[in-house]
Chain A
């Protein structure tokens, strides 16, 4: 009996922080569910979850064989058997579109995760340390931010080569400055809080203050940056594929490449190979930007004060 409680305590201790974090994120979402930002966030969240579902269960929803070249006659218009028709090399457009969700979400996850891993600590460090280190880092990050992201990603993709993981890396570079910026500004304001002051007065070391007192209060902005940048990630990845710098040809779903392939049939009025992959990109990016804008209105109290 006593052992059970002991175990329970250990589990709570390990899981406590993440659970509390997720709960602290969802509480405002539930509270604000009737306001416009709340409604937007929920719509966006449901759309994103829908795409994640499609992405995970793509192999169950549509057999991968339907995405193979010459699986069917070429350029069939949408019909009962092929809801979205077939493309120029006989692949089922619907199957490609479904598998594309898997690819896009994977790239997005890699890009966002890497940007978080790199941008968050640098932003935290820069904001906490201040001084010339901070100023230099801000200058570098701002310069990267001002440069056309797609071009930088294209350059990196051209150097490191094609592939899902490589494109994830190429995209990361664009979003590191964003994670850096937001983390830094959040750190700057948190640094001046009374409890941080108190910790410092009690003789806590810089590392402890940074990781225990500041980091956990800065982390709250991560979902906002993520969803704000995620839509852009999807667009950039699709753009790279469209330019022929993205993925290998054997990837079962790739919206950008599908649109690139669709290009040569446009002149003959073949619309289905272009329309549907594009609509999928738009649906996913709209979902993400609804979630992002809603969340940033809810979580950022400054913005909310301005609204009322």
Chain B
């Protein structure tokens, strides 16, 4: 067992161990796109191009090389950060990496907003539910947690649009910005950029546009928090140290907030890693519902335009993000709970 202060060693080990995961994901993407029976280029063109165009495209992308050579090229490409150039109509000839970096901030803004909504709604409902076990409010919130989790995100988005955008006209239903040019591109995050510009008006506009999409995606994710926080709180309120605190006469609400809740959060963070998969998948759907110009929209455009390098690039970037997120989650876990360090 390493001694105290070995968080860095733990983080380094985790980083090293996440390489195989990345390689496996890359291999799966490679397998799907290049080895699965059927011709991806022909499938992506879906009969819209004559055979010689398909053949020429294959040759240009190096898809007529032997499989092992393609695989080596592909892995080298990913690790040197060159994802090729687009062959689709919308971004023809542009660097795939550049376009992805252009669209990524929109998705980050949406997912961060959604996580915020999910944590606020989920943690509060989870605590209410966990501290009022088997009372009507607990049963209602548990039902909420189960049901909201299986609501189709895009449908919830449409209903929220109907209510808050079409009927009440409170929030916009489309796009990331309106009423003028968007803030200057610094980070690409409209909220942050408008603040850096010192333009409060455009900050509010970008927040205003962010409300419905974040709410849609966040609410669906909150069900998971409700359930997990409740389950863990039920476990921790029975723990010895909580009993000890109670014996010392510490008020019940303080026991919940200081003792039980904090310890109930640790397992929540552990399983949070898996939620990110749902978050990113949900973001693709939410982006389509709210015509949000992010990675999901880019992927769909790329698929529709038979933009093979772009499809591969987007999926590879998703894989990188997923590996990175699970690494960060693991390190945070090690930070909170020294027992999980190696």
What residues of chain A have their CB less than 8 Å away from a CB belonging to chain B? 139-140, 142-152, 154-156, 158-161, 231, 235, 238-239, 242-245, 259-260, 262-263, 266-269, 271, 274-275, 277-278, 281-282, 285-286, 288-290, 293
Contacts and interface: CB of A to CB of B under 8 A. Distances in A.
Nearest to B289: A263
B273 interface: yes
B184 to A, nearest CB: 30
A239 B326 contact: no
B318 A266 contact: no
A132 to B, nearest CB: 13
A262 B161 CA distance: 12
Interface of B: 20-21, 24-25, 28-29, 32-33, 36, 38, 40, 43-44, 46, 146-147, 149-156, 158-159, 161-162, 166-167, 173, 273-274, 277-278, 280-282, 284-285, 288-289, 299-300, 303-304, 311, 315, 318-319, 322, 326
Given A139-B24, A154-B303, A242 B154 contact: yes
A159 B43 contact: yes
Contacts of A155: 29, 32-33, 311, 315
Given A158-B311, A282-B152, A243 B158 contact: no
B321 to A, nearest CB: 10
A286 B143 CA distance: 10
B162 A274 contact: yes
Contacts of A146: 21, 273-274, 277, 322, 326
A243 B318 contact: no
Nearest to A141: B24
A147 B322 contact: yes
A303 to B, nearest CB: 10
13 contacts: A143-B25, A143-B28, A148-B280, A154-B299, A161-B38, A259-B152, A274-B159, A278-B152, A282-B150, A282-B151, A286-B150, A288-B150, A289-B146
B170 to A, nearest CB: 15
A238 B304 CA distance: 18
A235 B281 CA distance: 11
